[in-house]
Amino acid sequence: MSGIFLILIAIFLFLLLIVFHEFGHFVCAKLSGVKVNEFAIGMGPTVFSIQKRETLYSLRAIPIGGFCAMEGEDEESKEIRSFSNASVYKRMLIVVAGGVMNIILAFIFMMVILLQQESFASTKISKFSENSTTSQYGLQVGDTIKKIDGYGINTYTDVVFALAMKKDFTADFVVERNGSLVEISNVHLNTGKDKDGNTVISRDFYVQPIKKNLGSFLRQTFLEIFSNTKLTYVSLWKTITGEYGLNAVSGPVGMAVVIKDAATSGLQENFLKAVNNILMIMMVISVSLGVMNLLPFPALDGGRLVFLLIEAIIRKPVALKYEAIVHKVGFIILLMFILFITFNDILKLITGKGLTG
């Protein structure tokens, strides 16, 4: 019963991220003088609605998604305050506002997490564990890790991700040592066994703590958001190129399960740990949502931005009927993909493995 309750909480939190995204469009549209016909939380049939001046505020039955419907957004309109009649620069701001709002929300989540820490993890090696493997192959105390197999390192999160991407047990490092960059090739990584008996990489070095003050707190927050944004793009590229299977991709159902598992794991220690686990997952999802929506794909905010950039360059809008066709095709593709991922998530939940094994 508690598992179902946690999943419901996770779905609510995911809905919250969508609402914040759409709220970014809403606020920017209002500030730009664009008429908003409806601001909806959820999708599907309307459960409750209230009209406030020119805008209908509605709550819909399916707690996934939401939208901000602006006058003249997808059709011709003679309304002087329609989206299509706003300047191209205002429309650009409105389009990107959703993704920016998700990044801002992720920034807030990260600030809450870091605020509780006594210090922050750096990328400078302070010591090695007993019988360390990496120290035998060239890494030294005092080295600041700059790259692992070409992947830029700014935070300890980058170190964890770069090593997690490894399919073998060696890596090429670039470190800063005594003020100079040093390349160390073919570093053998320490390994161990996971609960299923598989051989996995086990980090065998510790890093220096960064003393917490206002400057380091703000810097670490920015760096962590940057690291997670980069991580999202890299993960997406590896999925597109086939390096990651589709089972690595999750939709709302899969994300709900991840949040539920994180909360359950945290509760084994204490309530605060569970909350922080959830905040960390929400931060990652919020960054991903912001990044994904700004990709130049039809029907996404990034796809709309492409048409606005074309308009700004040629000083003439692309015919709305042609743009609408492109976005409709993109929306159908996205919908099919979401349905597939959702079905795959449910299948993984029931059988333990998805359609791709």
Question: What are the structural domains, with CATH classification, of the chain?
Answer: 119-211 (2.30.42.10)
How high is the pLDDT of residue 285?
84
How high is the pLDDT of residue 351?
66
Q: Is the pLDDT of residue 64 over 50?
A: yes
22 counts as catalytic: yes
Question: 333-348, pLDDT tens digit by residue?
Answer: 877 877 776 676 666 6
Mean pLDDT of the 12-21 span:
85
How high is the pLDDT of residue 1?
43
Considering the chain, what percentage of its residues have pLDDT values greater than 90?
A: 46
How high is the pLDDT of residue 40?
93
How high is the pLDDT of residue 259?
57
pLDDT band, residue 297 (cuts 50/70/90): confident
How high is the pLDDT of residue 69?
93
Residue 290's contacts (CB-CB under 8 Å, 6 or more residues apart) are: 21, 98, 99, 100, 101, 102, 103, 106, 229
**Amino acid at site 334:** L
Residue in 22, 71, 224, 323 annotated catalytic: 22
Structure tokens at 357: 């094994």
Q: Is the pLDDT of residue 46 over 90?
A: yes
Question: 95-142, pLDDT tens digit by residue?
Answer: 999 999 999 999 999 999 999 889 999 999 999 998 899 999 999 999
Mean pLDDT of the 35-48 span:
92
Q: What share of the chain is helix, strand, coil (3-state, %, to 5)?
A: 55, 20, 25
